[in-house]
Structure 1
Amino acid sequence: MIIYKTEAELAIMKTNSTLVSTMLGEVAKVLKPGMTTLEIDTFCKSFIQDNKGVPTFFNFHGYPHNICASVNDVVVHGFPNKKELKEGDIVSIDVGITRDGYVGEHAYTFIMGEVSPEVLQLVKVTKESLYKGIEKAIAGNRVGDIAFAIQEHTERKYGYGVVRELVGHGLGKTMHEDPQVPNYGKRGTGTYLKENVVLAIEPMINLGKRDIYTEEDGWTVRTRDGKPSVHFEHNVCVKKGKAFILSDYSIIEAAEQSNPNLNTSYYTNTVKASS
């Protein structure tokens, strides 16, 4: 069942989603080689609690951490750990806050220093594809229009692997609501989009093939060929004419660009959409 939000509910969700962006911006200020993802987890837990929220991910279906930290060939759901991040790593931080009864949660992939041109392009194209999908998140379209736009820009144009087993989703009082939002599909198919449904649109794109596997911990998802994967996610409300983006990447990007340890050289000509 799809749950449509009132304007009052959307205001709460906008506040929460922007707060997650602020949290990821704070991470971007300090992220550097030698830091561990477990340190990031601890920081995010404190940030959420200081802002009178609850970490959405903690104990969600038994998940044992406050964030997902997915490094290099980890697609999503990576456990924070004590391994030090190093130059050349790419790391997706996915985190959520529940406050005033509603969830805000999204993800951003950071580049630690110099990486190969092909990895840099993968990050750029995946981020672009997110906005390609958001452009189609308007009333009167269908979920398949979002999915097709993402797949067209990544798989068909660049030959990347689009993960099939994991998808975006609706968002509200819980983290996973209807409808599901795949990153592949046909135009004009799937759920009909009406105003005030909130979606978490999140392309998960592999440099190599789309095949994945889950580790024995039951959570960590990796590419089967060991090649890198990139994950970006926005919280978006369907509206007439143009989607309303609840999260705010500009906060993260400003912090990211001010941190000399992070690589933002792909920003030139990157497709962006205003919130």
Structure 2
Amino acid sequence: MFGSSLEIKSPEQVEVMRRAGLVVADALAAVRDAVRPGISTAQLDKVAEDLIRSRGAVPSFLGYGEPPFPATICASVNEAVVHGIPGPRVLAEGDVVSIDCGAIVDGWHGDAAITVAVGEVPDDVRTLMAVTEESLWRGLAAARVGGRVGDISHAIEHYVRDQGDYGIVEDYTGHGIGTAMHLPPDVPNYGRPGRGPRLKQGLALAVEPMVTLGTHQTRIARDEWTVVTTDGSLAAHFEHTFALTEKGVWVLTAHDGGRAALERLGVPFGAPDGAV
């Protein structure tokens, strides 16, 4: 059902989204395991597509948008922030690659992203990745029924700003998700608490901080998809899809439903009884 332009899911619909989320989680795990110096981003794309289709699911990204996105994953290397198109590029020692992946099960979407180091990378890059991933969890932990989207945005920004002089990408945001990959509302990675649409039970959102070692400013490359930092600085991107249940936050694209991180942050775990 829809309320105030937001798609509100029944518990049964959230259960289907959880199935889609687990397909995405498995695909990202398979790609993470495949990342190594010498592998191409096209080969990583095949790993993800093969796994998604083997589960009876459909890749969300393939054919999406205009021009149609030509692959199953986004593979964004080094200064590429998001929407990188997989192809012949071969990963090298010291690269970082952000993998964004979506899958559809019975018409319902899951969407998540990780950033993976290729071999050894400098300490500042490792720290960037850790800060970005933790900011995602801080944002998820700020979500609660009756709260506002801005609570999530503020929690992400506040954590990143406390860690150092990083760029928080402003032109690309998280989003609602469900019967389509992108639904209202937008979920910025910066902002003031208590602002924006109210968070309701049955709402599902994809939260995805994008953080750089330099500027927050970006541009779109000639392929009309890949978003890169204007100063060439490296970027990291982490994302999860979550739903708000009567119990709390349920991270649909995390294998454990987000239990470990949410409990570490003192937030109720929202999975229904007997589910993970």
Q: Which has the higher helix share?
A: 1
CA deviation map 1:43-67 (0-9, x unaligned): 2222222211211101111111111
Does the Cα contact within 8 Å between 1:139 and 1:241 map onto a contact in 2?
no
Q: Is the counterpart of residue 115 in structure 1 residue 121 in structure 2?
A: yes
CA deviation map 1:82-107 (0-9, x unaligned): 12111111111111111211111211
Which residues in structure 2 correspond to 1:38-187 (within 5 Å)?
38-61=42-65, 62-187=68-193
Determine the structure 2 residue equivalent to 1:35: 39
Shift of residue 110, structure 1, vs aligned partner: 0.7
Give the residue type in structure 2 aligned to 1:89: D
Higher relative CO (Cα under 8 Å, sequence separation at least 6) belongs to 1
Does the Cα contact within 8 Å between 1:137 and 1:239 map onto a contact in 2?
no
Shift of residue 272, structure 1, vs aligned partner: 10
Does the Cα contact within 8 Å between 2:141 and 2:265 map onto a contact in 1?
no
CA deviation map 1:188-246 (0-9, x unaligned): 11111111100000001111110110012111000011010100000111235631111
Does the Cα contact within 8 Å between 1:135 and 1:242 map onto a contact in 2?
no
Structure 2: tracts of 5 or more residues without a match? 258-263, 270-275
Does the Cα contact within 8 Å between 1:171 and 1:200 map onto a contact in 2?
yes
Give the residue type in structure 2 aligned to 1:46: D
| 2-structure distance, mates of 1:219, 1:271 | 36
| 2-structure distance, mates of 1:18, 1:86 | 29
Determine the structure 2 residue equivalent to 1:239: 245
Which residues in structure 2 correspond to 1:169-208 (within 5 Å)?
169-208=175-214
Match of 2:10 among 3, 6, 28: 6
CA deviation map 1:83-140 (0-9, x unaligned): 2111111111111111211111211111112111111110000000000000111111
- TM-score normalised per structure 1: 0.89
Does the Cα contact within 8 Å between 2:48 and 2:73 map onto a contact in 1?
yes
Determine the structure 2 residue equivalent to 1:255: none
Give the residue type in structure 2 aligned to 1:172: G
**Identity %, equivalent residues:** 38
Shift of residue 249, structure 1, vs aligned partner: 5.3
Give the residue type in structure 1 aligned to 2:132: T
| 1-structure distance, mates of 2:34, 2:223 | 29
| 2-structure distance, mates of 1:125, 1:42 | 29
Residues 66 and 199 (structure 1 numbering): CA distance in 2 closer, same or farther, change over 3 Å? same
| 1-structure distance, mates of 2:227, 2:28 | 22
| 2-structure distance, mates of 1:30, 1:156 | 33
SS in 1 for 2:7: coil
Give the residue type in structure 2 aligned to 1:143: V
Structure 1: tracts of 5 or more residues without a match? 252-269
Determine the structure 2 residue equivalent to 1:25: 29
Shift of residue 156, structure 1, vs aligned partner: 4.6
| 1-structure distance, mates of 2:97, 2:265 | 21
